Homo-oligomer: A and B are copies of this chain.
Amino acid sequence: MPDFTAFKSLVPVRPDDIDMNRHVHNSKYNDYVLAARYDQMERCYGMSMDAFIERGLSWVVRASYIEHKRPLHIGDTAEVETRVEEIEGRSVKVGFLITKEADGKAVAKGWLDYVLVSLENGRPQTIPEDIVAIYSI
């Protein structure tokens, strides 16, 4: 059973993320995780989204799950921890935990199930061995 590394990225809350409830809009947590993955693909795994695109590949979300614990507000910064939970065949399951940077309290947690697709025809692709290796750290 592999034990993959968790990485962290900071995502500051922007005023345009705030909704009528005066906290960060639900959908934005998904965007914070996306921002963290982009950052970590380049900085932590050493293969940026651009590098995937240059190889004619991209990742699409097949399914996702999120649980909300406490909202973030204007002025807060999200700390987004993600970790590869499973990598197999054509898909990678990425778990995430969002905390409020200031106090470390849980904001949301969940997972995303990504499928690797060909940019040419949009079809799912078996993840090449070298990419499995890159993500298996």
Residues on the B chain within 8 Å of A65, using CB: 63-65
Residues on the B chain within 8 Å of A74, using CB: 20, 38, 49-50
Whole-angstrom distance from the CB of A136 to the nearest CB of chain B? 24
Given A60-B68, A67-B63, A74-B49, A14:B30 Cβ within 8 A:
no
Copies in the complex: 4
Whole-angstrom distance from the CB of A72 to the nearest CB of chain B? 13
Q: Could you write out 6 A-B pairs with CB less than 8 Å apart? A: A14-B31, A14-B32, A14-B34, A38-B75, A63-B66, A63-B67
Residues on the B chain within 8 Å of A27, using CB: 16, 27-28, 30-31, 34
Q: Does A6 make an interface contact (CB < 8 A)?
A: no
